[in-house]
Amino acid sequence: MHQKKVRILPLSILIISVLCFLSVGYWIYQKSVRNVIYATTLSFMKQIADHDRQNMLNQMSGKWLALTTITNRVDAAREYTMDEAFEDLKLNVVSGTFRRLYLVTEQGVVYSHTALKTSLEDMAWKDDYLNSEAPFAGIFRESSREHWGEYVVYGVRLSEPVRCGEESVAGIVGLVPISAISEQMRLESFDQMGVTVVMQSNGEIITSSTVYDSNISNNYLNFLESTQLQEGCTREGIQSGIQNGEQQLFRFSVDGESFYTLIEPLKDDYHSGWNLVVQLSDRVTTDQVQRLLMQSLVFFVLIGIVCLFVVIFIYRKIDEVKTLRIVEQTKTSFLANMSHEIRTPLNGISGLCYLMQENMDDKEKLTEYLQKTVASTAFLKDIINDVLDMSKIESGQLELIYRNIDLNGLLSEVETLLETQARHKQIDFTVNTQGIKQKWIAGDPIRIKQILMNILGNAIKFTPEGGKVSLNAIQTLKNGTAVTTFVIADNGCGMSPEFLTRIWLPFEQENRKIYKNGTGLGTTISKTLVEKMQGSISVESKPEQGTAFTITIPFPISKERDILRERGGRETAVSIRDKHILVAEDNELNRMIVTTVLENEGCILTEAVNGKEAVDIFEAGEAGFFDLILMDIQMPEMDGYEAARRIRQSSHPDAKTITIIAVTANAFQEDLDRALAAGMNDAVTKPLDVAALIDKISRIEKGEQI
């Protein structure tokens, strides 16, 4: 669990780093997009302001040009009658240049283009005319029923009065409705969220685009007082900029909505103090930004997902490479250790054989050497079995074979097997079975014994002389299941917290030189077997204080008829004496061992050195001549699989019923399956367990299911 956390931590940090990087990148991108759209929007505002400003200037320049043309014509004429003057004025009005045109005489009399005579005193634009020496323009509102509305007045005073008939003309004035200016303003292109205003320097609104609500205020500067100006902008600063003819850009908010505002002075020769105001809601940019950012967010999320998959993929590949390197290093170390572990008993066996040859006449020494040879052989066999079991685990071929077993009897066997080892080290070894309520259970006796032997063997090995090792078995019966807990405790050297995190890994051994031997596979195999039985295993340990393993396995309770059959089978011993067995084995030493052992049991043996010879001998025999065939697998001329198939396919009367047991060095399930598929009844593995072979033959003779 600790290692898993350690391995997940770097990946988590890497994923968080990638997410943070993408988040920061999106934040920077978001800010950049807002700035770009803001700058683009302002650029559009300036372009439209320039467009409207130029339209207004062009329109007004046209008015001035028309007015100047009339003035020049009047000024140049030496004999110019009032009728001719009225006709000229009418032509300009008809052409649409002006709505109305007036001639102003030196005496203050005013004539309209329709020859209507009135006084300058009655004109709303009188003050603009009298106070201006140069050409002028202004705004006035006329309230008469015939001409009600707002107008722009253009006026020119002649350098010298000109005689027109009996009148002396001193100036010409033209009127244009303000609506003519409004038609040139087009900021409504921003989905009705833009406003254009023309105002005087004091804030008085001259005209505006149709979107502007004139009910809000007729003075734009007064309107700004009701808003919240942003970014340190003030009304006084804005007014000062207007007076100085400066272009200004600022933001304000009103009623929860923000606006961009651009003030652009017209800067012409005749309309000093007029300003064009472009006002735009930030919803224009906000909507654009939101749409773009939502699309970008989807894109960033997709990039993030791809990046996460790539990061996880790369990390896993790197982790796999690291794991492979660790496994290779571990296996290299394991092979080096295995070489030592295998050579040790082999050297012992070789040396003991030499000593036996040298002491053939000394029965006492010969007996001692034989006992040590048996012990060395058993140790070597355990090492090989561990390696084979680990290979099965790694290939997923480890299988359990359930039988009805007497749990008390099994624990008694374990105690018998280990008590000599414990007694040799003067260890107080106890097995307590008082907590067992149901001794007859269904389980794999070999694997259960293997689990207990692994853990108890380590406990005895790592407990110093005079120590204590105990096995306590406790059961809880529940729904036809005997939940059995085995607690194996010792007061030995214990284990460090660091090693406890690696104890279940294969090939792991704590670095304790005085105790170090074996493959380091026992705990891994035990854990796998326990979990295969749907159980659990845990460990608690403290250095120099001891260790306690807790193993819990739910065993099915054996049925009564199965118990009776098991008991009956045990009580009825069937002898294999006088049974005729065909042994097919190409290795002379192995063949000698098997035949000698079986002959000592009273069996009659016939030998074959390869598969073909075994088939020939079987077919040549009479019906009922052979009771059993022991078939080696790897043999010259014909292997054991093919030999078994030939026997089953032969016309011999016993071909379908003769029992064939494979004797093979291959310990994997697929090899057993292959043997069964070839027609064999069962298999035993090398190195040959003589007692197990005799027991298997006896069970076959009793008619039991193998």
Paired tokens of 19 = 């997410």
Q: Are 267 and 245 in contact (CB under 8 A)?
A: yes
Q: Give the residue, 84 or 333, on which the prediction is more confident.
A: 84
pLDDT of residue 353: 87
Phi, psi values for residue 433, rounded to 5°: -115, 15
Confidence of residue 513 (pLDDT cuts 50, 70, 90): very low
Residue range 424-449: mean pLDDT, rounded = 91
pLDDT of residue 668: 63
CA angle (504 as vertex; 501, 445 as ends), nearest 5: 150
The number of residues in the chain equals 706
Confidence of residue 225 (pLDDT cuts 50, 70, 90): confident
Residue range 292-315: mean pLDDT, rounded = 79
pLDDT higher than threshold 50 for residue 514: no
* Percentage, residues of the chain above pLDDT 90: 23
CATH architecture group of domain 399-563: 2-Layer Sandwich (3.30)
Paired tokens of 390 = 């680990």
Confidence of residue 421 (pLDDT cuts 50, 70, 90): confident
From CA 345, how far away is CA 279, in angstroms rounded? 98
Superfamily of the domain at 2-180? PAS domain (3.30.450.20)
Q: E strand or H helix at 355, and its extent?
A: helix 283-358
Confidence of residue 338 (pLDDT cuts 50, 70, 90): low
pLDDT higher than threshold 50 for residue 211: no
616: nearest Cα among 566, 582, 569:
582
pLDDT of residue 571: 45
pLDDT of residue 1: 45
Please report, for residues 451, 469, 548, the alpha-carbon distance to residue 421 in angstroms, rounded to integers and kept in the order given: 17, 12, 20
Q: How far is CA 42 from the centre of its chain?
A: 43
Paired tokens of 562 = 């199965």
pLDDT higher than threshold 50 for residue 466: yes
Q: Give the residue, 178 or 117, on which the prediction is more confident.
A: 117
pLDDT of residue 428: 94
pLDDT higher than threshold 70 for residue 506: no
pLDDT higher than threshold 50 for residue 435: yes
Identify residue 307 by its one-letter amino acid code. Answer: C
Residue range 386-408: mean pLDDT, rounded = 77
Q: Give the residue, 648 or 64, on which the prediction is more confident.
A: 648
Among 322-331, 673-682, 684-693, the range of highest mean pLDDT: 673-682
Q: Is the dihedral of CA 85, 87, 90, 91 positive or negative?
A: negative
Residue range 170-189: mean pLDDT, rounded = 72
pLDDT of residue 334: 64
From CA 121, how far away is CA 514, in angstroms rounded? 128
Confidence of residue 570 (pLDDT cuts 50, 70, 90): very low
Identify residue 493 by its one-letter amino acid code. Answer: C
Residue range 543-564: mean pLDDT, rounded = 82
Beta bridge partners of 489: 470, 548
Q: Please, which contacts does 71-74 make with residues 24 or more away whose CB atoms are closer than 8 Å? A: 71/156, 71/158, 71/172, 74/158, 74/162, 74/164, 74/169, 74/172
Beta bridge partners of 80: 164
Domain chopping of the chain, boundaries: 2-180, 185-281, 288-388, 399-563, 573-701
CA dihedral 486, 491, 496, 502 (to 10 degrees): -30
Of 186-195, 390-399, 427-436, 571-580, the one with minimum mean pLDDT is 186-195
Strand 628-632 and strand 580-584: the pairing is: parallel
Of 1-15, 426-440, 576-590, 613-627, the one with minimum mean pLDDT is 1-15
pLDDT of residue 152: 84
Fold held by 573-701: Rossmann fold (3.40.50)
pLDDT of residue 572: 43
Q: Are 694 and 704 in contact (CB under 8 A)?
A: no
pLDDT higher than threshold 70 for residue 706: no
pLDDT of residue 641: 94
Residue range 183-210: mean pLDDT, rounded = 68
pLDDT higher than threshold 90 for residue 550: yes
Q: Give the residue, 539 or 209, on which the prediction is more confident.
A: 539
Confidence of residue 296 (pLDDT cuts 50, 70, 90): confident
Q: Is 358 exposed, middle or buried (0-12, 13-18, 19+ CB in 10 A)?
A: exposed
Paired tokens of 464 = 């110093």
pLDDT higher than threshold 70 for residue 418: yes
DSSP structure class, residue 464: P
Q: Are 250 and 233 in contact (CB under 8 A)?
A: yes
Q: Reduce the secondary structure of 487-528 to three states and give it as a string.
A: EEEECCCCCCHHHHCCCCCCCCCCCCCCCCCCCCCHHHHHHH
For residue range 248-294, what is the model confidence (pLDDT) as tens digits?
888 888 888 888 888 888 876 665 578 888 888 877 777 777 777 77
Please report, for residues 330, 462, 493, 499, 517, the alpha-carbon distance to residue 504 in angstroms, rounded to integers and kept in the order given: 14, 17, 18, 10, 17
CATH entry 2.60.120.460 includes domain 288-388: no
Cis-peptide, bond into residue 687, ω within 30° of zero: yes
pLDDT of residue 395: 67
Fold held by 185-281: Beta-Lactamase (3.30.450)
DSSP string, 278-331: EEEETHHHHHHHHHHHHHHHHHHHHHHHHHHHHHHHHHHHHHHHHHHHHHHHHH
Residue range 534-555: mean pLDDT, rounded = 93
Confidence of residue 440 (pLDDT cuts 50, 70, 90): very high
194: nearest Cα among 365, 90, 368, 46:
46
Q: Give the residue, 270 or 225, on which the prediction is more confident.
A: 225
Question: Would 185-281 and 288-388 be classified into the same CATH topology?
Answer: no
From CA 586, how far away is CA 580, in angstroms rounded? 19
* Percentage, residues of the chain above pLDDT 70: 84
pLDDT of residue 145: 57
Q: E strand or H helix at 542, and its extent?
A: strand 536-542
Residue range 629-644: mean pLDDT, rounded = 93
Residue range 22-41: mean pLDDT, rounded = 76
Confidence of residue 585 (pLDDT cuts 50, 70, 90): very high
Hunting for tokens 């009623």 — which residue is that? 255
pLDDT of residue 326: 74
CB atoms within 10 A of CB 581: 23
pLDDT of residue 693: 72
Q: Is 361 exposed, middle or buried (0-12, 13-18, 19+ CB in 10 A)?
A: exposed
